[in-house]
Amino acid sequence: MDFLKYFENIMDFFRSPVWKYMIYGIIFILIVVWLSFVYWTYRDARLRNTSALFWALMVFVLNYLGLIIYLIIRPPEYIEDVVERDLEIKRMEILLASAISRCPACGKETKDDFIICPACRKKLKKPCVQCEKPLNLEWKVCPFCKSEQ
């Protein structure tokens, strides 16, 4: 008899509006979380330059499963990072290219203070008559010691 009464109480609780609103509340929170997953996936996929609409739809339909699949196969970096890194590499290449001089005759690498190309013997610079620093062939005066060439 006591047990039945206890059982009745539990059933009353489940029938009560409080329980009903709790269920609604939980469903509401789940829907909000689910929609934020969809939104987050859409934004993340767009930043990574992969098909955002497709993945948003995937998460919308498959929910957690779609999100897990997306997290596994999404591109590992943001598109801005890729562009930024490519630019950085270009900058470095230009910097390196400008640091390396090449022989105008044979194209082999030379250094700025080479007087003659070690590969093809082309005359690259002339030594200053006074201080013997390497000067461009067309220079009329040595910029180091001011002596006329």
Interaction of residue 130 with Zn ion, rule CB under 5 A: yes
Smaller CB distance to Zn ion: residue 50 or 127?
Answer: 127
| Beta strands 125-127 and 134-136, pairing class | antiparallel
Contacting range for Zn ion; rule: CB under 5 A; set: 16-24, 46-54, 56-64, 111-119: 111-119
Q: Helix (H, G, I), strand (E, B), or coil: what is residue 147?
A: coil
| Residue 115 binds Zn ion, judged by CB under 5 A | no
Render 22-71 in DSSP notation, one character per residue. HHHHHHHHHHHHHHHHHHHHHHHHHHTTS-HHHHHHHHHHHTHHHHHHHH
Draw the binding track, 35-64, toward Zn ion (x: CB under 5 A; -: no contact): ------------------------------
- Tracing tokens 């008559």 back to the chain, one arrives at 129
**Segment contacting Zn ion by CB under 5 A, of 13-21, 37-45, 64-72, 135-143:** 135-143
Among 106, 112, 115, 139, binds Zn ion (CB under 5 A): 106
For residue 124, state whether it binds Zn ion (rule: CB under 5 A): no
Q: How much is the CA Rg of the chain, to the nearest whole Å?
A: 37
Instruction: Say how many residues touch Zn ion, by CB under 5 A.
Output: 13
User: Minimum Å distance from CB 99 to Zn ion?
Assistant: 18
> Nearer Cβ to Zn ion, position 67 or 128?
128
Q: How far apart are CA 103 and CA 72, in angstroms?
A: 51
| Burial status of residue 59 (CB atoms within 10 A of its CB: 0-12, 13-18, 19 or more) | buried
- Residues in contact with Zn ion by CB under 5 A are 103, 105-106, 117, 119-120, 122, 128, 130-131, 142, 144-145
